[in-house]
Structure 1
Amino acid sequence: MSFTCKTSVAAAVAALAMSACSFGPSGEPPAMPSPGHYGAAAQPSKTVAAGGVAQTFDVGAAPVPQWWRLYRSDALDAFVDEGLRNSPTLAATQRTLASAREELRAQIGASTLPSIDGAAQVERARTPIVPGLGPEQVQYNFFAGQIFTHYTFDLFGQTRYMNSASAARVNVQAFELEASRRALTANIVGTAINVAALDRQIALTERLVVVSDDAANEDQQRYTLGSASRAQALESKQSAAAIAATLPSLRQQRACAIHALAVLMGRTPDDAPSVPELESLSLPQHLPVAVPSDLLRSRPDIEAADAAVKAAAADVGAATAQMFPSLSLTASMGRGGFNWPAVTSGAGALWAIGAGLSQPIFHGGALFAQRRASVDAYDAAVLHYKATVLSAFQDVANSLAALDNDAQTLASSDEAAVAARAAFEDTASRQRIGSLPSTARQASESRYLNAQIAAVRAAGQRMSDTAALFQSMGELPAAPQSAASAQ
């Protein structure tokens, strides 16, 4: 075997070995800690009983896909179904994802399969007149038809890496769509609960305003008769006005919330739905709490960050592979001639075949800079993944702590409301038999109404935080379709 032949064989073996190597990171997400519990303190197995319900934390349970149905409200179910069906924002995200998938199919088809094109040419030409050189002019026809093909061999995996990066970025969009869908659901449920709580608060505040006005009017009459001081009359008037001033704020909050709910459902604000009463909603009693290792697979934001790491790793491979040779093959065949008999005869055959090998030699350091940039982008994607996971842990920890504290707040508020009601009923009974003035009954009713408002606020917050916990758990059974499966 000659030296040249030995060199060629060695080069071929080296090329095959290099093509078998990975030019980029594996794309696997970094290992993350698996804490024993999410918060600074271990979460309890259940909350205290409040409103007749003690919520249980089912550690290790799978997420509930349609968790909003646990509130047992047909109206709430209809709100979510309509929002998922009619939201223009969600629909736009879905169409963007569909477009990205089609572009990925086009990229893979164009880069991994040979391209074949056809061309036909029909021409009638006339040569210029050159005196003394043959005929004064020549007119002729030309006919040709050819098929061209081109293929670039992916020797070092640049095309494969580029397609993998694009597929991973489509997966990022798919998981972001899932995150948007879950966020829309949680926003609809939370906004509907907020409107229901505000409706109840407004009704209680309106009654409180009536009671305060009655007390102020009575104190004014007593001042006129000389049985009460002017300071007491003015103080009662000031108190009634202060309570009345809270109503416009509550109504404004309610208007903003109901308008937001209409838009979330894909409606105009003037077509806002009727919201069910807060008391008609059932508080979910069993709440799934995924272990940290399962949370990494159930939350779409973490899955999106994982896909971004894979895309960045593939970019490193593509940036490395572009430094190596590229081999292309071209071929064409057809027929041509100056008349149809010539085109169809053996003399009309046209064909060509060729190969080209290119190797980057000097690009002013651009290729090395591009590779360093892709490595830095990969490191940034890894760090973003870590930050996303830590933020998810924090989200769950906050939700668990909120529900525990919400239950305690509601329990105390309910206890205060029960005591205030008993005191009001006792005062009202004594006032009816004449042993207490009507002002005592009004003051007692005001305290009872304020206690009820606090309890309603606490109950609404507990329901909203329950929805937040369901959202933070993700959804294992409904993982979005990956780009690879869409090919």
Structure 2
Amino acid sequence: MRMAALAALGLVLAGCALGPSGKPPAMPEPVRYVAGPAPDAAPAGSPDLVAAWAPDASWWTAFGAPELDALVAEARAANPDLAAARRRLEAAREALRAQTGATELPSVDLGAQAARQRALGLPLELPPPLPELPRTSIYDTFVGQAQVRYAFDLFGSIRERNRALADRVEQQAAQWRAAREALAANVVSGALTLSALQVRLRILEAVADGLRRDEAESARRQALGAAPRAAVLDARRQAEAVAAQIPGLQARALAIRHALAVLLGRTPDQAPEAIPFERLALPARIPVLVPSALLAARPDVQAAQAALRAAAHDAGAASADLFPSLTLTAAMGRGGYDWSSAWSPGGALWSLAGGLTAPLFHGGALRAQRRASLQGYAAAEDDYRSTVLAAFREVADALSALEQAGAAQAAGDAAAGAARGVAADAARRAALGAVPPSAARAADRQADLAELDALDIRAQRLLDAVRLFHALGAPA
């Protein structure tokens, strides 16, 4: 008995080592995300990039617009796709509880049966003068019993499958967190793009209005014989060329508003208005995760880790299928041809059975399944490596874009400031009669175009900050 117990214990312990470990493969951590030397000094107005070990939970508040915070909160509460993903996650968790309870604990069932039936009698030839027995009989049966069934998980096949399912549920939870953060990033990016687009529309409308005034002035000069007809046509061409850009931009702005409405769970006719661009500010401080902390914060890396663990448990289950399985079944109850006989001492019923099944020949299917699961585990390791490298790349791209955009914004703002100075000088000279009004409008138009370039850089810088926040992951 002692030897048998030790052997059984060895079998159980052996089942714990039938599959791979499921630990993530070692990955090199970069010293810094971006290739090349670090910049000597950040341009003026650049955010302060500080090392951090945990991501910012509500990073969108750093842009300083309460309207933006309200949009993100509404999207997280009302987005139907996110709600559906949450429901599916809860359904997967309940399915895990169902499978765990059905496979790791004994199953107990109660049953009761009452039947009335007619059976054929035995065709016996009896010698006379004994009367002939009836060849059919009608009788009742009453049976009630409890049945217990339990499968002993000697080599861990059941345990490994349940753990694999649990890891896949965790993978689904990480994917839900990734979808939740992607929704916030999409809402913030859409709102920022819409705000910048409204400013662009205002500037272009001002430029088109100035060009139409140039056209009217050229037409008056032509009527006086002071300007050729070609000058009028050229002014009209420029005005219409700028005006032709406005309908497309208006349609794009409406499309962004409609997309935001859907993200918020609204109908397109209830689309939100644009946030005034001047209320949006580049975050003054961005906590940048160190590489080791990034791997713990990114939901896609967490999902890859869960998938790797699930693949390891699948391999363990496939290995355990090569060994015997033991099942115990027991039943106890009462039965009889009437209620009184069922509850009599003679009506007791019971059964006890144990079954041991060992795979002998399955045409190589079990070993092939094990090899397939090991290949699946190797593929999960490769997927994990790819996910980690992609995470490092996304952070590096966002950081480099934010750093380069700082220098571009400094140059763009300087160019816009110089153009505004030229426009102010031209306006003063036009007021003194030194230059015609068209010259002042031309200088003002050049200043507007320089402001458009600076606006594009500022808007892109805000979007780069959103991209960096999103790349850094979210709290679990």
Give the shorter-chain TM-score range.
over 0.9
* Equivalent in the alignment of 1:483: none
* Secondary structure of 1:352's aligned partner: strand
Q: Deviations over 1:167-207 (max 9, x none)?
A: 00000000000000000001101100111000111011111
Matches within 5 A, 1:253-402: 253-402=252-401
Specify which of 8, 11, 14 is matched with residue 15 of structure 1. Answer: 11
1:116 aligns with 2:108: yes
* Secondary structure of 2:238's aligned partner: helix
1:74 aligns with 2:66: yes
Deviates more, 1:171-180 or 1:219-228: 219-228
* Secondary structure of 1:275's aligned partner: coil
* Equivalent in the alignment of 2:169: 170
The alpha carbon displacement at 1:127 in A equals 2.6
Residues in 1 aligned to 2:460 and 2:53: alpha-carbon distance in whole angstroms: 24
Deviates more, 1:413-422 or 1:54-63: 54-63
Deviates more, 1:448-457 or 1:214-223: 214-223
Change (3 A) 1:6 1:337: closer
Residues in 1 aligned to 2:9 and 2:404: alpha-carbon distance in whole angstroms: 67
* Secondary structure of 2:244's aligned partner: helix
* Secondary structure of 2:148's aligned partner: strand
TM-score (norm 2): 0.95
1:40 aligns with 2:40: no
Q: Deviations over 1:441-465 (max 9, x none)?
A: 1111110111111222211111111
Q: Deviations over 1:96-132 (max 9, x none)?
A: 0000000000010011000011111101122336676
The alpha carbon displacement at 1:383 in A equals 0.5
The alpha carbon displacement at 1:224 in A equals 3.4
Change (3 A) 1:211 1:304: same
Residues in 2 aligned to 1:136 and 1:312: alpha-carbon distance in whole angstroms: 64
1:64 aligns with 2:56: yes
* Equivalent in the alignment of 2:25: 30
* Secondary structure of 1:429's aligned partner: helix
Counterpart of 2:269 in structure 1: which amino acid? Answer: D
Residues in 1 aligned to 2:330 and 2:41: alpha-carbon distance in whole angstroms: 73
Residues in 1 aligned to 2:9 and 2:180: alpha-carbon distance in whole angstroms: 51
The alpha carbon displacement at 1:432 in A equals 1.1
* Equivalent in the alignment of 1:466: 465
1:456 aligns with 2:455: yes
The alpha carbon displacement at 1:9 in A equals 8.1
The alpha carbon displacement at 1:14 in A equals 5.8
The alpha carbon displacement at 1:351 in A equals 0.1
- The answer to whether the Cα contact below 8 Å between 2:308 and 2:384 also exists between their aligned partners in 1 is yes
- The answer to whether the Cα contact below 8 Å between 1:43 and 1:400 also exists between their aligned partners in 2 is no
* Secondary structure of 2:26's aligned partner: coil
TM-score (norm 1): 0.93
Change (3 A) 1:17 1:300: closer
Superposed CA RMSD in Å reads: 1.9
Residues in 2 aligned to 1:309 and 1:69: alpha-carbon distance in whole angstroms: 35
Aligned length: 469
Residues in 2 aligned to 1:97 and 1:182: alpha-carbon distance in whole angstroms: 16
1:211 aligns with 2:210: yes
Residues in 1 aligned to 2:10 and 2:297: alpha-carbon distance in whole angstroms: 43
Change (3 A) 1:16 1:446: closer
Residues in 2 aligned to 1:6 and 1:174: alpha-carbon distance in whole angstroms: 46
- The answer to whether the Cα contact below 8 Å between 2:329 and 2:352 also exists between their aligned partners in 1 is yes
- The answer to whether the Cα contact below 8 Å between 1:116 and 1:148 also exists between their aligned partners in 2 is yes
Residues in 2 aligned to 1:92 and 1:402: alpha-carbon distance in whole angstroms: 35
* Equivalent in the alignment of 2:146: 147
Residues in 2 aligned to 1:14 and 1:277: alpha-carbon distance in whole angstroms: 71
Residues in 1 aligned to 2:53 and 2:141: alpha-carbon distance in whole angstroms: 77
Deviates more, 1:237-246 or 1:345-354: 237-246
The alpha carbon displacement at 1:235 in A equals 2.2
Residues in 2 aligned to 1:214 and 1:16: alpha-carbon distance in whole angstroms: 90
Q: Deviations over 1:121-173 (max 9, x none)?
A: 10112233667651354222110101111000000010111011000000000
The alpha carbon displacement at 1:222 in A equals 2.2
Counterpart of 1:466 in structure 2: which amino acid? Answer: A
1:107 aligns with 2:105: no
Residues in 1 aligned to 2:159 and 2:121: alpha-carbon distance in whole angstroms: 57
* Secondary structure of 1:197's aligned partner: helix
The alpha carbon displacement at 1:11 in A equals 6.0
* Equivalent in the alignment of 2:233: 234
- Runs of 5+ unmatched residues, structure 2: 126-131
Residues in 1 aligned to 2:288 and 2:8: alpha-carbon distance in whole angstroms: 56
Change (3 A) 1:9 1:106: closer
